[in-house]
Structure 1
Amino acid sequence: MSTASLPSTGRRRNPATRAAILATTFDVVAELGYARLTIEKVAARAGVGKQTIYRWWPNKGALVLDAVLERSLGPGEPAELPDTGDLEADLTAVLVATVEEFADPAFDRALRGLTAAIIEDAELSQAYRERLDEPMRELKKRRLRRAQESGRLDPGVDLDLAVDLIFAPVTRRWTERSGDLSPDGVRAIVRHALRGLTNAA
């Protein structure tokens, strides 16, 4: 996406200006890291006034969060998880796509910087939960609930716990830079998690 200079458009959000600011923010945080990113650097590179950015985003944490969400999810709400009728294949596809995103050096650096900021900033942490973590958790639970209804998962399984068992190992391996994050490693995570969640009957 081009980050060519665009004029400030006052208080009203111009979609092209917003897109340029977020694309520039992502490029700057991927290049310099979260700690070295400043609103001034983003404004200069995007060709907008610093006041325009502060009018739309209260601080750099909120700006970087929007930039990462825009790059990861695009505009609008997160899409539903795939439902082909094969739960293991569907969950594996989602996690393989996640690992491929983690493997992108630009995304990896941007997300690590944001993750560190979230740990330190309670307000940013709440925004992250409300805007990404909780909506994605609901989508994951919805897919697992359909599996319960079809008899693929034990109906007594706690879906919040099931989400943690399936998805948390990948995040932990990425965070700690340890463990197998290859497609085969992801398949093993899903297979073993589902072994404990599948209705034995």
Structure 2
Amino acid sequence: MASHKAPDSSRRSDRSRRAIHDAALALVGEIGYGRTTIEGIAARAGVGKQTIYRWWPSKAAVLLEAYLDLQNRSAEQAPEGTDEAEYAIADTGDLAADLKAVLRATVDELNDPVTEAPTRALAAEGIIDPELGAEFAEKLLEPQIGLYVTRLRAAQRAGQVRDDIDPRVAVELLIAPLTHRWLISGLPLTHEYADAIVDLALRGLSTDA
């Protein structure tokens, strides 16, 4: 008599969760965050809306987890042998070139249609939902800021950045103008603009200033 294995509920849950993530990201990109609903996400993912409500308290929570999952998937697709150290900001000895390279990469990511809409939605929603904003900052923003801090501290040890500079504050000189232009001003976000930010910031940070 043939044996029949019971369905693997954990695998089914993983598939459903991934489908919900993909549906949330797709809908926000296609119709915007305001028009995206739990019902729409459920229909797109092929699940009941109660499944979503069982796992998440709101569509914002769904989108945040989907966005973090997207970032994790990108890391998993990195070439074999890549470790966390390889995601650090390069230290070639040329601080300006290293910072320009990472800011240019940030420009490319913010302009990427796949990530632009959910990032804007989460940034805006985090303002009116402090709990969501704190989670967004803790899980996504702070780890990225930490990479800048590490690079600036290395520059201080190398005598390229003044010792009286707080690296955590200095990071804001680099990323705040970029974020403001992208999120608020509506002006184009370009590599040339990223380079200009670095040049201006280093006038105040450099020991040669």
Asked if these proteins are the same fold (TM beyond 0.5), I'd say: yes
RMSD: 2.6
Structure 1 unpaired stretches of 5+: 1-7
Pairs aligned (count): 194
Partner of 1:48: 47
Q: Which amino acid aligns with 2:70?
A: R
C-alpha displacement of 1:124:
0.9
Partner of 1:25: 24
C-alpha displacement of 1:72:
4.4
Distance in 2, Cα, partners of 1:125 & 1:106:
21
The answer to whether residue 108 in structure 2 is matched with residue 100 in structure 1 is yes
Q: 3-state SS of the aligned residue for 2:189?
A: coil
Distance in 2, Cα, partners of 1:36 & 1:49:
19
The answer to whether residue 184 in structure 2 is matched with residue 185 in structure 1 is no
Structure 2 unpaired stretches of 5+: 1-6, 77-83
The answer to whether residue 117 in structure 2 is matched with residue 118 in structure 1 is no
Distance in 1, Cα, partners of 2:97 & 2:20:
37
C-alpha displacement of 1:139:
1.9
Distance in 1, Cα, partners of 2:68 & 2:117:
14
Distance in 2, Cα, partners of 1:121 & 1:178:
24
Distance in 2, Cα, partners of 1:41 & 1:165:
40
Distance in 2, Cα, partners of 1:10 & 1:52:
13
Partner of 1:173: 181
Q: Which amino acid aligns with 2:205?
A: L
Distance in 1, Cα, partners of 2:137 & 2:20:
23
Distance in 1, Cα, partners of 2:143 & 2:152:
14
Q: Which amino acid aligns with 2:34?
A: A
TM (normalized to structure 1)? 0.83
C-alpha displacement of 1:9:
6.8
C-alpha displacement of 1:13:
7.7
After alignment, is 69-78 or 55-64 more displaced?
69-78
Distance in 2, Cα, partners of 1:50 & 1:26:
16
Cα gap change, 1:178 to 1:51, in 2 (>3 Å): closer
Instruction: Select the structure of larger CA radius of gyration.
Output: 2
Q: Which amino acid aligns with 1:138?
A: G
The answer to whether residue 33 in structure 2 is matched with residue 34 in structure 1 is yes
Q: Which amino acid aligns with 1:102?
A: L
C-alpha displacement of 1:109:
2.5
The answer to whether residue 96 in structure 2 is matched with residue 88 in structure 1 is yes
Contact 2:149 2:167 (C-alpha < 8 Å) held by counterparts: yes
Q: 3-state SS of the aligned residue for 2:63?
A: helix
Q: Which amino acid aligns with 1:61?
A: A
Distance in 1, Cα, partners of 2:188 & 2:200:
14
Q: Which has the higher helix share?
A: 2
Partner of 1:5: none
Distance in 2, Cα, partners of 1:154 & 1:27:
45
TM (normalized to structure 2)? 0.80
C-alpha displacement of 1:21:
1.9
Q: Sequence identity, in percent? A: 46
Distance in 2, Cα, partners of 1:154 & 1:75:
35
After alignment, is 106-115 or 87-96 more displaced?
106-115
Distance in 2, Cα, partners of 1:156 & 1:136:
23
Q: Which amino acid aligns with 1:42?
A: I
Distance in 2, Cα, partners of 1:87 & 1:73:
28
Distance in 2, Cα, partners of 1:177 & 1:16:
39
